[in-house]
Each structure stands twice: as structure tokens, then as C-alpha cells.
């Protein structure tokens, strides 16, 4: 497989193995050989087949398999769901188990629905419960404390049933973006609730401890609050739990209550799932898909993922037992948008939706056919007799495949895997394959990529670049214009045919996002990871209609994101600092400008010493009656350009502080800036002189906010949003490389270096 420059960067940063001196001992062929040999388990024929499959670029497994296969850890799964029962013993046992999973590189999902509501009686202590949200904060802090070997961050999903008595508090629990930063949250909606919404009726709240009715709420008001909060910052998402359990292949083992962090993998408690994705972009031939090759790739991929189950070392014995009893795998796709570009089919078209159904029906059918053959060869998954398949059920109707016959054949011959298909986030593996993520549209046709010396480079989608060459339109000026928004929709000199074909996420009407998700969901055992993108101007009613359409079309869950809604605004356009001030558009430009307040004659503050890669740094932060007002930075005997840059950082920080810019916003801009000489200081990594100033400001804030002690955490991924006319691709920046980040597949992701929040 040809590796792009970005793919090389991602592989070197996250996947290639190093020796004790930090030198690479692996390249792409060596990685593929390591993974293929390990998963084949000594079978030379399988090893040869798996090597060819991976090296072709037509299929890649999830990141833990690429990272850990053949290594000491040997933890190959990405998705886990852990149970939480209504006891302190269960809660903190799950905290411990989640930490072990995060340490091994996995993400975790939880249902907090079994925990009694706050202030409910606790008989054993004669006290009252603190409720599920307080325990979510415990899990969040534990995740903060666990590092995943520098390759993947801990990520969690929290789900609460809509009939839990504390549902209103849960819906608003992430109103403050600095709370529960390691969690995605979703509300579990039931058919009863959705009918009550349609009929504008009240529904019952059920106490999980007693099973009794604990009150009633207006379904419409609860639904509107979900919609309002999703409009505000993209959370909570929603999952349709009854619909998920209708597709549960092993209902005798219990109900599915939660999903993995990005929502595409509903799992029973203590289950894990091994995921992998077919690169559809490599399977285009002229004006069609190579259906014969697709069938071959599906069969080989099922073989590979089934072997992963046997080779994986699971972090807990209970997970190992459940995983090997159901043998769930999740085969999905990536490169869908790039395939459409090659076939000249607009994403926002019925032709694309119809093709999505045909592609996924073919993958799902062939995957189940191969799994049945493996059952004949090796045996069915142990829980097969209790599954829906043993009753001859497949819950599928299609245009291209004989599902009724396959259901009968499986009933007779068995099935190797309880589930076969999942549309997962492809994050960094799609960057390795140099293709679009999952079934998402391309977020941008031209990225601005930041490099070490602060030079900005343009990274152009290869299919778009080829089309521009074909039309004799490729030039630097045009690419720079496209990079401002990532789209060609509003570029007047762009031919209409290219504008129609090369649609990006924000060109697409949200209803078409949902139709595409529903098309893939129709033939997916598990669920589909997909973000429904909205422009910043979208109204609350737009979100509401999207949720209802997703329910109507058969989606299992929905994640929405209104552009810019998760970024904190640094400069308001009005004279105040609240969001409502930004609506003041009738003032002149001069009236909206701010001037720094005057420095008093006497200020008081603290001086901190920090160790940087350039030497001892002393940062003095003073305050006046309104708070912090000035920063001074001095470093040993350093002079010249370095001294001038430090003085510039201090002066601009002081100017911002006296101009009513929140100190948190300055911290976010400075922390995480990297140079070539990082240094440890008191258990923390100082990545540059700018980062040191940011840490000094953070320390100051933790000690002195209006004279009171406080404790805060500022996270690099919560970068502040710029002014309204700043290009979308630069709204938030990657904490690793400084390039613009995007919100796709339910998570924040950097298209330049592969950083991901999840």
C-alpha cells in the first residue's frame, strides 16, 4: 500500500514500534507482518492471506489490533461495556475495571440507569444516595488519572434511561463544557416515551431501586430540553434502546443498556467487540464498484476478525468469557465519500442512498454467509442455541440477496459470530489508508496543515485534485480560496458539475445526513457512527426535526453537531462577555472594539519558577481590584530573539487580561504549544516556553480567583473559537500539532496528525 505523508506521520507517532532509545524498529511492511503473523496464530496460509489483505489497503482493523498484536499487551479490542449495579461495591469495582481498560487502550460504555436517584434512601447506612451524576464525576476523574501509553486517551459513554427520576439533571449535566470532559452522554429513549412525545402526554418516571413510579413528566418538555442542549453543544445524543434490543441477537442473556463511546457498538454488560473497516475507495473501477473484489475482501476480513477474538488478551476474565461466548465482530466501511467522488455521485442524492443500501446489503449478506461457513468448520458461537438465529430469524429484507434462504441455512448450520457488521469511526486508520472517515462526507477538500516551523501547508483531497487537473483548474490561488471554508459550494469560478459532486459535510442538508445513516443502518447488525452536521445558524427546531426523522427512518441513535457550538468564544462582538452580547449587530465597528483598562500604580502578585527546555523561567502574575492584570516573564540570562518572544508573550497576555479576556481563554491558547525541547517539571510536562506561561497562569487561577481558592482544569481540546469571519477549518485547533480539528463520527479529530479526543 502506498503511504501518504500524513499516513507516515500517524504511523510513526502512534503505531510503529520503537526500541528503548526511541528509534524506530518498524516500518509499514514490518507492522503488517507483525499483525498478520500474530492474528494467524501460526497458520502460514492464513498469515499469507492476512498480510495481502492488510497491505492492499482494502481493509484495516481497529487501532488496538494494529498497535498491540504481537506486543506484550496483546489487547486487541476497541469497545467495551461494563455493568454498574446499585451498590458502592459495584460502582467502585467498575471504576477499577474501567481504569484497566483505559490503560490497555480501550474505550468504555456504561449505563447509569440502575443507580438510585439522588436523595433516595440508603438503608444500609441510614443515609441518602448522591445519585448517578455524582458518580459520573468519579469515573471522569479516574479517566483523567489514567494515561494510555501515549497512544489513545480514555473515552467513556454514559447512558441514562429517559424514565430515570434524575433525567432532567442528566440532560443538562454537560451544560458547563469543563464538566465531564471524558464522557459522551446519550439519553436512552423508549418506544413508550416516543409515543408520549407524539401524543404530547406525560410519562412515568421509575425509581430504579424500588421499581415504583416516582413521578411524571411531560414527554414533550423532556424531548425539547434534549433538543435544546444538543443545539447548544451537541450533547446529549439519543439512542433508541427498544430498537437496539429488537436487534439483540441473544436476548436470553439480558438487555443491551449501553454502547461504546462513539455509539456504534451496543453491547451487553462485560462484552467487547473487535472492529475493522473495508476501504471502499480502493474498490472503484471506472464508473462502478468492483463487486467481485468486495466479496473477496468481506470474506477475508471476517476470517481476520474472527481470529482476533482468539488471539486477544482481554483486560478482565469476565470480558474474555463473554466475548468468546458470543464472538461478536463489527465489519464496517471507510472511504464512502471518496468512492462517491470517483463515481461522480453527489452525497446528497437518492442515487447515493440507494448505492449505500446495496453496498451494505452485500457486505452484511456475504459476512453472514462466511460466518456460517466458519461455524461449519470451527463451530458456532457458544450461545448460538439461545440466539435469534437458532429460531431462523435474521430480521432482514433486501433487494439483492436471498435473506430467507440464508436464515434457514444458518438455523441448520450455525453461525460463528453473534454480530457481523458495525459502521465504526475510522479515525486514524482512515488516515493511514488516505481516505475519508467511515460513511461521513469529507469535512474539507483542502486542509491547512501546520508544520513545526509554523509554516502553513495545504493538504488537498486527491480525488478533488485529480478533478481540478482534468478540468485544467488546479492552481495555488484556487486551493487557498477553497481552504478558507473547505468547500467549493460558493466559489463562483467552480463549474457546477464539480460543485455538485464534491460536496462536504456542511454543504449537505442534515436530512440527507440522516437518510445516509439510515441506509447503512438497514443492513448493519450493530449501529452506525455518524455525525449530523448543522451550520452555526441552525435553529432548535432543525435539531428537533432531525431527531424525529432519525427515529422515523430506523436509526438506532443520533449524534448532532452545530458548527462552532462546542468552542468557547474569546472575543465577543459586543462590549460585554456573555454570548447574548454577540447578537448586538447594530453597533458600529468602532463601538464594538475594546480598550484595556489602565494599570494601577501598585499591583500585587506571585512569582513562579518553572523548568523549561530552555532553562529556568520566572513568571510573575500581578492583579488589581478586577483580577489578574499583567504578566512578566524572565528566563536566566537568555537574550536576543528568545528574550524578545518571551516579552511579547507577556505583553500580549497583559493586554488581554486588561481587556476583559478571561484568563481561562489565554490559558487555552498557550497550553499545549510544543517545541523541540520539552521538560518535566514537578510531575508535569512543559512542552515549550509558551506552555510554561500557560501553566503558570493556570496555577495562579487555581490559587486566586476573586480571593477564593478554586480548582479548575483547562483542557487543550476546548480551544476557544475565533471571530465569526474566521474559516471553519480553524475554529478549534489540535493540541498536538496546532492544525484545525473537525467533529466527525461523534468525536473530535485532527486530519493532520491523527489526534483524537476519543
Q: Active-site residues: which are they?
A: 260, 262, 264
**What burial class does residue 455 get, using C-beta atoms within 10 Å of its C-beta: 0-12 exposed, 13-18 middle, 19+ buried?**
exposed
Q: Distance between CA 215 and CA 192 in Å, rounded?
A: 16
**What burial class does residue 665 get, using C-beta atoms within 10 Å of its C-beta: 0-12 exposed, 13-18 middle, 19+ buried?**
buried
CA angle in degrees (0–180, nearest 5) for 741-450-105: 50
Cell numbers for 731? 475554529
Q: Distance between CA 101 and CA 94 in Å, rounded?
A: 10
Q: Distance between CA 166 and CA 491 in Å, rounded?
A: 49
Q: Distance between CA 553 and CA 560 in Å, rounded?
A: 16
Q: Which residues of 403-417 are buried (b: 16+ CB within 10 A; e: fewer)?
A: beebbebbbeebbbb
Q: Distance between CA 512 and CA 345 in Å, rounded?
A: 14
Q: How many helices (H) and strands (E) does the chain have?
A: 25, 27
Instruction: Report yes or no: 416 and 374 within 8 Å, Cβ to Cβ.
Output: yes
Q: With CA atoms as reference, report the closest residue to 114 among 36, 188, 22, 172.
A: 188
**Torsion angle of the four alpha carbons 96, 101, 104, 106, in this order, in degrees rounded to the nearest 10:** -150
User: How many C-beta neighbours within 10 Å does residue 97 have?
Assistant: 19
Q: Among all chains, which residue has been given the C-alpha cell 460466518?
A: 371
Q: Distance between CA 514 and CA 549 in Å, rounded?
A: 7
- What backbone phi and psi angles, to 5 degrees, belong to 541? -60, -30
Q: Distance between CA 750 and CA 745 in Å, rounded?
A: 12
Angle between helices 291-311 and 28-40 (to 10 degrees): 70
Amino acid at each position: 500500500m502506498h503511504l501518504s505523508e500524513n499516513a507516515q506521520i500517524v504511523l510513526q507517532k502512534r503505531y510503529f514500534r520503537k526500541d528503548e532509545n526511541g528509534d524506530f524498529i518498524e516500518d509499514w511492511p514490518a507492522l503488517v507482518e507483525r499483525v498478520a503473523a500474530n492474528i494467524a496464530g501460526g497458520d502460514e496460509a492464513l498469515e499469507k492471506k492476512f498480510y495481502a489483505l492488510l497491505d492492499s489497503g482494502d481493509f484495516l482493523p481497529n487501532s488496538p489490533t494494529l498497535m498491540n498484536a504481537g506486543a506484550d499487551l496483546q489487547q486487541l479490542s476497541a469497545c467495551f461495556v461494563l455493568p454498574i449495579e446499585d451498590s458502592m461495591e459495584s460502582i467502585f469495582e467498575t471504576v477499577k475495571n474501567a481504569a484497566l481498560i483505559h490503560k490497555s487502550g480501550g474505550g468504555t460504555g456504561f449505563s447509569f440507569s440502575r443507580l438510585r436517584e439522588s436523595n433516595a434512601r440508603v438503608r444500609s447506612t441510614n443515609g441518602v444516595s448522591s445519585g448517578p451524576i455524582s458518580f459520573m464525576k468519579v469515573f471522569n476523574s479516574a479517566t483523567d488519572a489514567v494515561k494510555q501509553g501515549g497512544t489513545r486517551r480514555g473515552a467513556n459513554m454514559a447512558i441514562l434511561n429517559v424514565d430515570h427520576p434524575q433525567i432532567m439533571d442528566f440532560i443538562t449535566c454537560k451544560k458547563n463544557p469543563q464538566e465531564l470532559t471524558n464522557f459522551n452522554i446519550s439519553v436512552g429513549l423508549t418506544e413508550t416515551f416516543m409515543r408520549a412525545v407524539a401524543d404530547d402526554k406525560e410519562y412515568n418516571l421509575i425509581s430504579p431501586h424500588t421499581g415504583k413510579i416516582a413521578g411524571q413528566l411531560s414527554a414533550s418538555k423532556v424531548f425539547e430540553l434534549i433538543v435544546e442542549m444538543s443545539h447548544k453543544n451537541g450533547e446529549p445524543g439519543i439512542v433508541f434502546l427498544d430498537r437496539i434490543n429488537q436487534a439483540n441477537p441473544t436476548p436470553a442473556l439480558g438487555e443491551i443498556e449501553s454502547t461504546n463511546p462513539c455509539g456504534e457498538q451496543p453491547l451487553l454488560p462485560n462484552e467487547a467487540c473487535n472492529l475493522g473497516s473495508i476501504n471502499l475507495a480502493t474498490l472503484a473501477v471506472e464508473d462502478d464498484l468492483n463487486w467481485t473484489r468486495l466479496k473477496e475482501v468481506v470474506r477475508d476480513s471476517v476470517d481476520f476478525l474472527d481470529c482476533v477474538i482468539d488471539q486477544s488478551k482481554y483486560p478482565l476474565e469476565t470480558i474474555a468469557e463473554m466475548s468468546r461466548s458470543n464472538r461478536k465482530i463489527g465489519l464496517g466501511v471507510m472511504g464512502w465519500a471518496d468512492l462517491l467522488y470517483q463515481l461522480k455521485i453527489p452525497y446528497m442524492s437518492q442515487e447515493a442512498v440507494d448505492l449505500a443500501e446495496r453496498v451494505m446489503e452485500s457486505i452484511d449478506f456475504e459476512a453472514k454467509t462466511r460466518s456460517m461457513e466458519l461455524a461449519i468448520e470451527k463451530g458456532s458461537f457458544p450461545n448460538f442455541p439461545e440466539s435469534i438465529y437458532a429460531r431462523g430469524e435474521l430480521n432482514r429484507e433486501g433487494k439483492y440477496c436471498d435473506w430467507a434462504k440464508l436464515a434457514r441455512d444458518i438455523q441448520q448450520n450455525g453461525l460463528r459470530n453473534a454480530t457481523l457488521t458495525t459502521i465504526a469511526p475510522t479515525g486514524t486508520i482512515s488516515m493511514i489508508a488516505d481516505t475519508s472517515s467511515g460513511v461521513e462526507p469529507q469535512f474539507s477538500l483542502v486542509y491547512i496543515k501546520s508544520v513545526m516551523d509554523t509554516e502553513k501547508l495545504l493538504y488537498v483531497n486527491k480525488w478533488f485534485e485529480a478533478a481540478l487537473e482534468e478540468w485544467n483548474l488546479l492552481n495555488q490561488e484556487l486551493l487557498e480560496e477553497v481552504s478558507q471554508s473547505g468547500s467549493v459550494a460558493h466559489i463562483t469560478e467552480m463549474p457546477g458539475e464539480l460543485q455538485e459532486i464534491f460536496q462536504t459535510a456542511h454543504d449537505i442538508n442534515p436530512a440527507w445526513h440522516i437518510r445516509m445513516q439510515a441506509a447503512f443502518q438497514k443492513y448493519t447488525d450493530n449501529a452506525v457512527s455518524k455525525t449530523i452536521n448543522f451550520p452555526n445558524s441552525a435553529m432548535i427546531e432543525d435539531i428537533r426535526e432531525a431527531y424525529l426523522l432519525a427515529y422515523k427512518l430506523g436509526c438506532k441513535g443520533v449524534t448532532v453537531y452545530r458548527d462552532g457550538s462546542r468552542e468557547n468564544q474569546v472575543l465577543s462582538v459586543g462590549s460585554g462577555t456573555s454570548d447574548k452580547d454577540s447578537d448586538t449587530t447594530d453597533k458600529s465597528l468602532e463601538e464594538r472594539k475594546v480598550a484595556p483598562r489602565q494599570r494601577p500604580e501598585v499591583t500585587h502578585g506571585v512569582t513562579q519558577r518553572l523548568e523549561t527546555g530552555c532553562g529556568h523561567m520566572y513568571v510573575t502574575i500581578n492583579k488589581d481590584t478586577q483580577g489578574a492584570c499583567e504578566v512578566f516573564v524572565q528566563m536566566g540570562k537568555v537574550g536576543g530573539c528568545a528574550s524578545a518572544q518571551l516579552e511579547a508573550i507577556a505583553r500580549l497576555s497583559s493586554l488581554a487580561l486588561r481587556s476583559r479576556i478571561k484568563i481561562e481563554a489565554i490559558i487555552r491558547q498557550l497550553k499545549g504549544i510544543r517545541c523541540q525541547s520539552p521538560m518535566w517539571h514537578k510531575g508535569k510536562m512543559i512542552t515549550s516556553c509558551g506552555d510554561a506561561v500557560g501553566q503558570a497562569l493556570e496555577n495562579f487561577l487555581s490559587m486566586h480567583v476573586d480571593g477564593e481558592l478554586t480548582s479548575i482544569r483547562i483542557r487543550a481540546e476546548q480551544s476557544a473559537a475565533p471571530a465569526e469571519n474566521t474559516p471553519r477549518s480553524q475554529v478549534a485547533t489540535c493540541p498536538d500539532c496546532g492544525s484545525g480539528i473537525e467533529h466527525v463520527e461523534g468525536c473530535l479529530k485532527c486530519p493532520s496528525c491523527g489526534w483524537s479526543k476519543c
